[in-house]
A and B are shown apart, each in its own frame.
Chain A
Amino acid sequence: MKHLILGNGPAGVVAAETIRKTDPTCSITLVGAEPEPPYSRMAIPYLLEENIDESGTYLRKTEGHFEKLGIELKVGRATGVDPSNKTVQFEDGSTETYDKLLIATGARPILPPIPGVDLPNVHTCWTLDDARHIAALTQKQGAHVVQLGAGFIGCIIMEALSLRGTDLTVVELGDRMVPRMMTSEAGGMIKDWVQKKGINVVTSTKIERIDLTDADRPASTESKSFLKSVIEKLTGHEDAPEPAAAYVDADEDELTVTLSSGEKIACHAVIISAGVRPNVEFLEGTGIDITDGIHTDDRMETSVPDIFAAGDVVAAPDFFTGKPFFSAIQPNAVDEARAAALNMAGRDARMHGVLPINVLDTLGLISSSFGQWEGVEGGESVELSDPERHRYISLQFDGDVLIGATSIGLTQHVGVVRGLIQGRVALGKWKDVLMKEPLRLSEAYLACAQQPGALAG
């Protein structure tokens, strides 16, 4: 039995390990598109903050971990899948066969069609290589940086850039920060907070174009070698690849960003965080439904037998509606990977729906959102807000079941929100308690889910 796993992010790695745990003898090949050990994109901001070095982003830190488990690692980017012959073609011309295939190729950042988005010093922040370049571009304290997008990922990058000491302007199309995770009240509180921390945030605004301030200025070889030295420091390797970018002299604002308001901002770098889309193009023609992500059943299998999918590439059934839902959320990716892997290995495992959960730290202000935080028709909700002290909570109920929540400043026992929603826990009279005192979530959880006899009545 040969298991082929495309993608070596958290989903790919967890799937490989889960298969190995279930089947000690099968063949497992784990394919990554980047020339790096399996690493975590989620850790990149912490790399930029210099909280960790590159090895700190690695998904598995034990030397020889994959070797010991008999998991073969391959570098390659899949270009096509032939389900009838059970083979996968790669960019370098090689092919791999499989008995069971897992597609965990994740997602990639969207580059919006803005004039100038292809200029040097305009970057997405997605790969380790991106991180190396951004680190070099922002090596200098006070470097002027414009970031496009204040969504969930944008906010994490924003924090890293701010902690690197850049002079940062964030431009968001929506009317608030993290519009797809936070209520307008909470999003406003986050904006207020980060502005007080010195980040300039502009909402309801587009970037119209990006221009070179001085179009004639050539790339200097001096700055290239500086960039190389930074990359060497980050990677710890002396054979770091020759950097492609130029214009690293932070004293100069080589770029001019024009906003929809007409305002022009001179800056040294532009970071793009405008959402992600799943890496599915290579599956065209396979018969797999890839509209907004790979569609799977609750066993994480696609419509094509023996092809499974997990992680950010998937549109798995939503926890509430059962409809395909593209979540791109780490814990969900891992849950899906475990389910997919067990099914690939011949066990029966099901995902009971994907529940959106997010947690965010914007310069010390911690926020989270769960499930249907916008509520449902006919449901009830409660909201407590204390803008002065930056605390917020909103709970959404359907009947006496919690279905969604957003919070700011809640860090203790926050996981019970997931427990209550995912367990579809009937709250009974505790729902009335929560409507009055929404912060007694832990007590409600303990009373209704952990100690039903002792505390419910």
Chain B
Amino acid sequence: MAWTRKVLRVNLTDGTCTPEDLNMDWAMDYLGSRGLATKYFVEEVDATVDPLAPENKMIMATGPLTGTVASTGGRYTVITKGPLTGAIACSNSGGYFGAEMKFAGWDMIIFEGKSEKPVYLMVENETAQLRDASHLWGTSTWHTEEQIKKENQDPLIRVSSIGKAGESGVLYACIVNDLHRAAGRSGVGTVMGSKNLKAVALRGTRGLSGIHDFPAFMKVTEEKKQILAENAVTGEGLPSFGTQVLMNVINEMGALPTRNHRDVQFEKANDISAEAMAKPRESDGKAQLITNAACFGCTIGCGRISKIDKEHFTVVNKPEYWGASGGLEYEAAWALGAANGVGDLEVLQYANLICNEQGMDPISFGATIGAVMELYEIGVLDDETIGLAAPFGSAEALAELVDMTANGVGFGKEIGLGSKRLCEKYQRPELSMSVKGQEFPAYDSRAIQGMGLTYATSNRGACHLRSYTVSSEVLGIPEKTDPLTTEGKPGLVMAFQDATAAFDASGLCIFTSFAWTLADIQPQIDAACEGDWSLEKLSEVGERIWNMEKVFNLEAGLTKDDDKLPERLTTEPAKEGPAKGLVSGVPEMLPEYYELRGWDTDGKPKAETLGRLGL
């Protein structure tokens, strides 16, 4: 068994930490991480709960392959009800935190209630303790991690924490682990902050001994690593260029949403691309990019480690930002850059650093700035309201607003509520580029039709990682489909959604899917875990997870109206590029998708579907 079979339940109201046995019946049906933790969550939490009330819970969970030698086996997931969306929130992060949880002997940690005063959880193998965090409250994730290591006299402690954004109620606050990896989306950090939980610190020295068939597992993981190494994307593209390799590719496709999705191509895309990161700067002759980096167990190594230009106006007197740090990744570079028309690579890295430091999702933040800039351009917002001039393309405005938002200062408080609430407040709800209140990532639904349906139907609000059809529609993985047509996309999206759910539940990184299919993951799970893990069963686990999340959302009050794109994407055709003249075909794809899913025309799973999946 690759599970530790132990769950740590932390009641923040009572200040207690209680070990429990993992429900193995559920593990057999939901595998782990995203699947198993969501099962626990929906069983224990009323779907109508206020996300920021003590009654909401938050689960940090690993998968059976987390902490193993399987490539990318370092992921963990945070499950809660999201304050940005009111839907299930499910945010996944790499780094070393997840593996450390396993090495400490835990599959997951369930947080419930709310602490009276700020605390952090310290877990050292079987010992767990809530400690006072008053001295950490109001400080950054970077300071918190450093301080916890220092006061526990152990530099090898792994920390997940929230920064000021999570404390001050930014609705897209994230949980940052290992300084620059994050459970980024849907405001999981906001929930953590609402519980007065500043950080979770782990130290695990017990290791993992319970792999079901160790020799077989070592052999099959080795074979599968070879596939990743030989694949053009995972073996070459991602390590060399990171996710940023996509910037120019997507721009050329006319699928790079620009200036709050007014445009689909960005004239300065090349200035903020992977190529630009690797090019020596004019100012100091050094490239922003230092090296690539991997999360625990990852043989791909797509992470970027960069150094900002010390002379740049954002950091000229701030040496604390001069060291090497994480970034830029494609989604962040897009959201902070193209979405606002900002083409200054250094300011993007600065905003990215602040997002890491104070714990907020750069996608939702950046996309909200896009909405702010559009509202400014059309005169709804002015200098006085915002406190500064914020036209599209303003690097100064981006730098200023990221500080204001992270610190909850002035207009930053409104930006912290996300584009949906902000646009509604100023009576222009149609300008929020979001689904279920969560902002889009970096692919335009008009030029990559599958992604439109992906966003519309994603259970956690607009997201590329629920079904990354870009693989198929752009990169031809596992087979090429035409990005401009809607034909066949409902089936494609559904297949990606279910497979992704299974990938996520295993504890592996979805980026392996550029080279692997479920059939590559299956033997790794089968060797690691007791029980029969056939390909069929694994597909069914994925489908079961998807439907479970959907049922939670319906019980939470979401309806068919929440499976909808903003009008701009379905009514304003793309102005340029290969998709010129096209709108998103989500309205025509959605009924077919519902039907394929075995859902009724309102998007509710039919009784026989639920019965078939044992829900």
| A–B proximity contact (CB within 8 A) | yes
Interface residues of A (CB under 8 A from B): 384, 386, 389, 391-393, 409, 436-437, 439-440
Q: Is residue B479 contacting chain A, with contact meaning CB distance below 8 A?
A: no
- Alpha-carbon separation in the docked complex, A436 to B149 (Å): 12
Q: In the complex, which residues of chain B have a beta carbon less than 8 angstroms from the beta carbon of A391?
A: 152-154
Contact B150–A389 (Cβ < 8 Å): no
Known contacts A386-B153, A389-B153; 13 further A-B pairs (Cβ under 8 A):
A386-B151, A386-B152, A391-B152, A391-B154, A392-B153, A393-B153, A436-B150, A437-B146, A437-B149, A437-B150, A437-B155, A439-B154, A440-B155
- Alpha-carbon separation in the docked complex, A414 to B152 (Å): 18
Q: Which of B149, B153, B155 has the most CB of A within 10 A?
A: B153
Please, which residue of chain A has its CB at the minimum distance from the CB of B124? Answer: A389
Please, which residue of chain A has its CB at the minimum distance from the CB of B153? Answer: A391
Please, which residue of chain B has its CB at the minimum distance from the CB of A408? Answer: B153
Q: In the complex, which residues of chain A have a beta carbon less than 8 angstroms from the beta carbon of B149?
A: 437
- Alpha-carbon separation in the docked complex, A436 to B146 (Å): 11
Can you report 15 residue pairs joining A to B where beta carbons are below 8 Å apart? A384-B150, A384-B153, A389-B152, A389-B153, A391-B153, A391-B154, A392-B153, A409-B153, A436-B150, A437-B146, A437-B149, A439-B153, A439-B154, A439-B155, A440-B155
Interface of A is mostly: mixed
Please, which residue of chain B has its CB at the minimum distance from the CB of A441? Answer: B155
A438–chain B nearest beta-carbon distance, Å:
8
Q: In the complex, which residues of chain B have a beta carbon less than 8 angstroms from the beta carbon of A436?
A: 150
Q: In the complex, which residues of chain A have a beta carbon less than 8 angstroms from the beta carbon of B150?
A: 384, 436-437
- Alpha-carbon separation in the docked complex, A386 to B131 (Å): 14
Q: How many A-B residue pairs have CB under 8 A?
A: 22
Task: Encode contact with A along B138-175: 1 for CB under 8 Å, 0 otherwise.
Answer: 00000000100111111100000000000000000000
Please, which residue of chain A has its CB at the minimum distance from the CB of B150? Answer: A437
Please, which residue of chain A has its CB at the minimum distance from the CB of B146? Answer: A437
- Alpha-carbon separation in the docked complex, A433 to B150 (Å): 12
Q: Which of B146, B149, B151, B155 has the most CB of A within 10 A?
A: B155
- Alpha-carbon separation in the docked complex, A386 to B151 (Å): 8
- Alpha-carbon separation in the docked complex, A26 to B390 (Å): 89
Which residues 297-330 of B have a CB within 8 angstroms of A? none
Q: In the complex, which residues of chain A have a beta carbon less than 8 angstroms from the beta carbon of B146?
A: 437
Q: Considering the complex of A and B, which 4 residue pairs feature the smallest CB-CB distances, nearest first?
A: A391-B153, A439-B155, A386-B153, A384-B153
Q: In the complex, which residues of chain B have a beta carbon less than 8 angstroms from the beta carbon of A440?
A: 155
Q: Which of A389, A392, A393, A436 has the most CB of B within 10 A?
A: A389
- Alpha-carbon separation in the docked complex, A437 to B153 (Å): 8
Q: In the complex, which residues of chain B have a beta carbon less than 8 angstroms from the beta carbon of A393?
A: 153
Please, which residue of chain A has its CB at the minimum distance from the CB of B156? Answer: A412
Q: In the complex, which residues of chain B have a beta carbon less than 8 angstroms from the beta carbon of A437?
A: 146, 149-150, 155
Task: Encode contact with A along B533-555: 1 for CB under 8 Å, 0 otherwise.
Answer: 00000000000000000000000
Q: In the complex, which residues of chain A have a beta carbon less than 8 angstroms from the beta carbon of B154?
A: 391, 439
- Alpha-carbon separation in the docked complex, A440 to B155 (Å): 7
Q: In the complex, which residues of chain A have a beta carbon less than 8 angstroms from the beta carbon of B153?
A: 384, 386, 389, 391-393, 409, 439
Please, which residue of chain B has its CB at the minimum distance from the CB of A384? Answer: B153
- Alpha-carbon separation in the docked complex, A436 to B150 (Å): 9
Q: In the complex, which residues of chain A have a beta carbon less than 8 angstroms from the beta carbon of B151?
A: 386
- Alpha-carbon separation in the docked complex, A110 to B152 (Å): 41
- Alpha-carbon separation in the docked complex, A23 to B441 (Å): 75
A366–chain B nearest beta-carbon distance, Å:
14
- Alpha-carbon separation in the docked complex, A386 to B149 (Å): 12
- Alpha-carbon separation in the docked complex, A384 to B153 (Å): 8
- Alpha-carbon separation in the docked complex, A389 to B152 (Å): 8
Q: In the complex, which residues of chain A have a beta carbon less than 8 angstroms from the beta carbon of B152?
A: 386, 389, 391
Please, which residue of chain A has its CB at the minimum distance from the CB of B155? Answer: A439
Q: In the complex, which residues of chain B have a beta carbon less than 8 angstroms from the beta carbon of A439?
A: 153-155
- Alpha-carbon separation in the docked complex, A437 to B147 (Å): 10
A405–chain B nearest beta-carbon distance, Å:
14
A436–chain B nearest beta-carbon distance, Å:
8
B179–chain A nearest beta-carbon distance, Å:
15
Please, which residue of chain A has its CB at the minimum distance from the CB of B122? Answer: A389
- Alpha-carbon separation in the docked complex, A3 to B152 (Å): 54
- Alpha-carbon separation in the docked complex, A389 to B155 (Å): 15
Please, which residue of chain B has its CB at the minimum distance from the CB of A407? Answer: B153
A101–chain B nearest beta-carbon distance, Å:
49
Q: In the complex, which residues of chain B have a beta carbon less than 8 angstroms from the beta carbon of A409?
A: 153
Please, which residue of chain B has its CB at the minimum distance from the CB of A440? Answer: B155
Q: In the complex, which residues of chain A have a beta carbon less than 8 angstroms from the beta carbon of B155?
A: 437, 439-440
A169–chain B nearest beta-carbon distance, Å:
31
Q: Which of A392, A409, A437 has the most CB of B within 10 A?
A: A437
- Alpha-carbon separation in the docked complex, A409 to B205 (Å): 14
Q: In the complex, which residues of chain B have a beta carbon less than 8 angstroms from the beta carbon of A386?
A: 151-153
- Alpha-carbon separation in the docked complex, A313 to B149 (Å): 44
A444–chain B nearest beta-carbon distance, Å:
11
B414–chain A nearest beta-carbon distance, Å:
38
A287–chain B nearest beta-carbon distance, Å:
52
Q: In the complex, which residues of chain B have a beta carbon less than 8 angstroms from the beta carbon of A392?
A: 153
- Alpha-carbon separation in the docked complex, A393 to B152 (Å): 12
A364–chain B nearest beta-carbon distance, Å:
15
- Alpha-carbon separation in the docked complex, A33 to B150 (Å): 51
- Alpha-carbon separation in the docked complex, A9 to B79 (Å): 63
- Alpha-carbon separation in the docked complex, A439 to B148 (Å): 13
- Alpha-carbon separation in the docked complex, A389 to B127 (Å): 12
- Alpha-carbon separation in the docked complex, A448 to B155 (Å): 19
Q: In the complex, which residues of chain B have a beta carbon less than 8 angstroms from the beta carbon of A389?
A: 152-153
Please, which residue of chain B has its CB at the minimum distance from the CB of A391? Answer: B153
B159–chain A nearest beta-carbon distance, Å:
14
A435–chain B nearest beta-carbon distance, Å:
12
Please, which residue of chain A has its CB at the minimum distance from the CB of B154? Answer: A439
Please, which residue of chain A has its CB at the minimum distance from the CB of B151? Answer: A386
A280–chain B nearest beta-carbon distance, Å:
43
B5–chain A nearest beta-carbon distance, Å:
27
Please, which residue of chain B has its CB at the minimum distance from the CB of A436? Answer: B150
B22–chain A nearest beta-carbon distance, Å:
28
- Alpha-carbon separation in the docked complex, A384 to B151 (Å): 8
Q: In the complex, which residues of chain B have a beta carbon less than 8 angstroms from the beta carbon of A384?
A: 150, 153
Please, which residue of chain A has its CB at the minimum distance from the CB of B127? Answer: A389
Which residues 106-154 of B have a CB within 8 angstroms of A? 146, 149-154
- Alpha-carbon separation in the docked complex, A409 to B203 (Å): 15
B142–chain A nearest beta-carbon distance, Å:
14
A35–chain B nearest beta-carbon distance, Å:
45
- Alpha-carbon separation in the docked complex, A18 to B155 (Å): 41
- Alpha-carbon separation in the docked complex, A417 to B345 (Å): 43
B309–chain A nearest beta-carbon distance, Å:
17
B129–chain A nearest beta-carbon distance, Å:
10
A58–chain B nearest beta-carbon distance, Å:
34
A310–chain B nearest beta-carbon distance, Å:
38
A183–chain B nearest beta-carbon distance, Å:
15
A139–chain B nearest beta-carbon distance, Å:
36
A412–chain B nearest beta-carbon distance, Å:
8
B319–chain A nearest beta-carbon distance, Å:
12
Please, which residue of chain B has its CB at the minimum distance from the CB of A386? Answer: B153
A142–chain B nearest beta-carbon distance, Å:
31
B265–chain A nearest beta-carbon distance, Å:
41
- Alpha-carbon separation in the docked complex, A154 to B334 (Å): 66
A24–chain B nearest beta-carbon distance, Å:
47
A49–chain B nearest beta-carbon distance, Å:
24
- Alpha-carbon separation in the docked complex, A391 to B154 (Å): 9
B137–chain A nearest beta-carbon distance, Å:
21
Please, which residue of chain B has its CB at the minimum distance from the CB of A439? Answer: B155
A446–chain B nearest beta-carbon distance, Å:
13
- Alpha-carbon separation in the docked complex, A310 to B146 (Å): 46
Which residues 81-103 of B have a CB within 8 angstroms of A? none
- Alpha-carbon separation in the docked complex, A225 to B152 (Å): 54
- Alpha-carbon separation in the docked complex, A439 to B146 (Å): 12
Please, which residue of chain B has its CB at the minimum distance from the CB of A438? Answer: B153
- Alpha-carbon separation in the docked complex, A392 to B153 (Å): 8
B150–chain A nearest beta-carbon distance, Å:
6
- Alpha-carbon separation in the docked complex, A264 to B150 (Å): 45
- Alpha-carbon separation in the docked complex, A44 to B65 (Å): 46
Please, which residue of chain B has its CB at the minimum distance from the CB of A409? Answer: B153
- Alpha-carbon separation in the docked complex, A439 to B156 (Å): 10
- Alpha-carbon separation in the docked complex, A328 to B155 (Å): 34
